[in-house]
Amino acid sequence: MSVEYAVILVDSTSHALHIEKLLGSRGLACKLIPVPRHLGSDCGVCVRILKQDVQTIQTLLSEQKIVFQSIEGL
């Protein structure tokens, strides 16, 4: 079975790094990747996460008042 992913879209690379650090500290897998073309026209990066972690991460980001645009399935 292939791994299913989602991405967190953010305003800038700095925001992505902010989230990367937070998720890393909680042991949640993530990777910074270029924004997939179908999700945005931006030249920047987004944070790829495991689909199974979406709920946990959504709660964590809102608890920590972290600014992000949206979480999208891949």
Partner 1 sequence: MTTPAPLLPSAHAKDGALYLDNAATSWPKPPGVAQAMSYFLDEVGANPGRSGHRMSIEAARIVYAAREAVAALFGAPDPLRVIFGLNITDGLNLALHGLLKPGDHVITSSMEHNAVMRPLNDLQQRGVVYTRVACQADGTLYPALVEQAIRPNTRLIVLNQASNVCGTLLPVREVGRIARQKGLLYLVDTAQSAGVIPVDLEKDSIDLLAFTGHKSLYGPMGTGGLVIGPRVDPSELFTLRQGGTGSRSEREVQPDFCPDRFESGTPNAVGLAGLLAALKWLQAQGVAQIQTHKEALCAALLEGLVNIPGVIVYGPRDASRQTATVGFNIQGVEPSEVGLRLDEEHNILCRVGLHCAPAAHQTLGTFPGGCVRFSLGTFNTLADVRQAVAAVRELAGEAK
Residues that bind partner 1 (CB under 8 A): 11-15, 17-18, 21, 32-35, 40-45, 67
Taking the complex as a whole, the smallest distance from the CB of residue 31 to partner 1 amounts, in Å, to: 9
Helix (H, G, I), strand (E, B) or coil at 17: helix
**In the chain, what is the straight-line distance between the N-terminal and C-terminal CA atoms, in Å?**
15
**Nearest-approach distance from CB 62 to partner 1, in angstroms:** 17
Whole-number minimum distance, CB 13 to partner 1, in Å?
Answer: 4
Q: Which is closer to partner 1, CB of 32 or CB of 60?
A: 32
- Which of residues 12 and 52 has its CB atom nearest to partner 1 in the complex? 12
